Chain A
Amino acid sequence: EVQLVESGGGLIQPGGSLRLSCEVSGLTFSTSSFNWVRQAPGKGLEWLSFINGFTGAIYYTDSVKGRFTISRDNAKNSLYLQLNSLRPDDTAVYYCARNGVTVTGTPWGYFDYWGQGTLVTVSS
């Protein structure tokens, strides 16, 4: 059974930093590509960042470029998101999600497995 389990969320003051983790099991982590997607309370889904399992390529959406950093540790089957310079509008549930793949393993841009999410609240 594939499982993605996020952790590291919590209450943080504006301007603070937080590191989210996503521990993955039940699939071949090292060649899988992953993302972070967030959802503000009562709002829709916003894709944040992608890391390619084969090439190491990394992409970000503009609203988090320069503040958030995605990384991975293949030895620990874990994905991370470092959140810096946090603002109240970063308050959201943060999900990790795996990219769907072609038969050759190339990642598609949709998400076939998701974690349960971790809540980040930015407030003084």
Chain B
Amino acid sequence: IQMTQSPSTLSASVGDRVTITCRASQSISSWLAWYRQKPGKAPHLLISKASILESGVPSRFSGRGSGTEFTLTISSLQPDDFATYYCQQYITDPWTFGQGTKVEIK
């Protein structure tokens, strides 16, 4: 299953609302996770099952969608959020990731 994220790069300012889209090449129901990766660090799980926020993840993050189209929204961008975000499907192996969306400072 191919996962395609858009945009590849996003320029935004602190306080902005940003949305990243992830599309699957076939239906994955709600079996989708989102990760944030800061430079030089391992990915960090934000959301599972498309919309379930992991423990300790700030409430400014939210996920929606099912089937083939999903979104990750950050309601008010914080300095810590300038990073690369990946979606990942886990309905079937091989588990596959999107190519990533880099959120840059405007």
By a beta-carbon cutoff of 8 Å, the part of chain A in contact with chain B is 44-47, 50, 59, 61-62, 95, 100, 108-112, 114-117
Contacts and interface: CB of A to CB of B under 8 A. Distances in A.
Contact of A47 (B41, B44, B54, B97): B97
A49 B68 CA distance: 24
Interface residues of B, number: 23
A100 B95 CA distance: 13
Interface of B: 31, 33, 35, 37, 41-45, 48, 54, 86, 88, 90-91, 93-100
Nearest to A111: B45
B39 to A, nearest CB: 11
Given A44-B86, A108-B48, A110-B48, A116 B42 contact: yes
Mostly, the A contact residues are strand
Nearest to A110: B33
A59 B95 CA distance: 10
A44 B33 contact: no
Given A47-B94, A109-B31, A109-B95, A117 B86 contact: no
